Amino acid sequence: MKKKNIYISLFTALSIIIHGFEYMIPVVTPWFKLGLANSVSLAVLVVYGLKDALFVTLLRIFISSIIFGTFLGPAFFLSLSGGIVSITTMGFFYYLANPFLSTIGISLLGAYSHILAQGFVISKFMIGHDSIFLLIPGMLLLSLVTGIINGTISSRLCTHLMLVKQKEKLV
Partner 1 sequence: MFTLPKHIKKDTFLHKLNPRIKLSVLLLIIGIIACTHSLWTLSGIFLFILIISRYSKISVSTLLIRLRPFSWFFTFTIIMQFFFIPGESLPYFPVGCIDITYDGIWQGVYLVEKLSLLIMSTYLFISTTSPQELVRLLDRILAPGKRIFPQVTDISEMVLLTIKFIPILLCQAKDHIKKEKGKLKKKKGVKERIGYLIMIVDSYFESVIQNAHQMIDDVSNETSS
Which residue's CB is nearer to partner 1, number 96 or number 171? 171
Which residue's CB is nearer to partner 1, number 76 or number 97? 76
Compose the 62-81 pattern: x for residues touching partner 1 by CB under 8 A, - for all others: xx--xxxxxxxxx-x-----
Q: Counting contacts by CB under 8 A, is residue 152 touching partner 1? A: yes
- Residues 85, 111, 117, 161: which binds partner 1 (CB under 8 A)? 161
Q: Counting contacts by CB under 8 A, is residue 10 touching partner 1? A: yes
**CA-CA distances (angstroms) from residue 8 to 18, 21, 74, 126, 154?**
15, 20, 27, 33, 16
Sign of the CA dihedral running 55, 57, 62, 64: positive
Cβ 21 to partner 1 shortest distance, Å? 6
Using CB under 8 A as the binding rule, the residues of this chain from 106 to 145 that contact partner 1 are 125-129, 131-132, 145
- The interface region with partner 1, picked from 22-30, 80-88, 97-105, 112-120 by CB under 8 A, is 22-30
Cβ 98 to partner 1 shortest distance, Å? 22
* Nearest one of 67, 63, 45 to 54, comparing CA atoms: 45
**Within 13 Å, how many C-alpha atoms sit on residue 46's CB side?**
26
Contact 15, 41 (CB under 8 A): yes
Looking at residue 73, what DSSP letter applies? S
Looking at residue 25, what DSSP letter applies? S
Contact 45, 91 (CB under 8 A): yes
Task: Give the CA angle between residues 41, 22, 107 to the nearest 5°.
Answer: 35
What is the contact surface with partner 1 in residues (CB under 8 A)? 1-10, 12-14, 16-18, 20-21, 23-25, 30-31, 36, 39, 51-52, 55, 58-59, 62-63, 66-74, 76, 125-129, 131-132, 145, 149, 152-153, 156-157, 160-161, 163-164
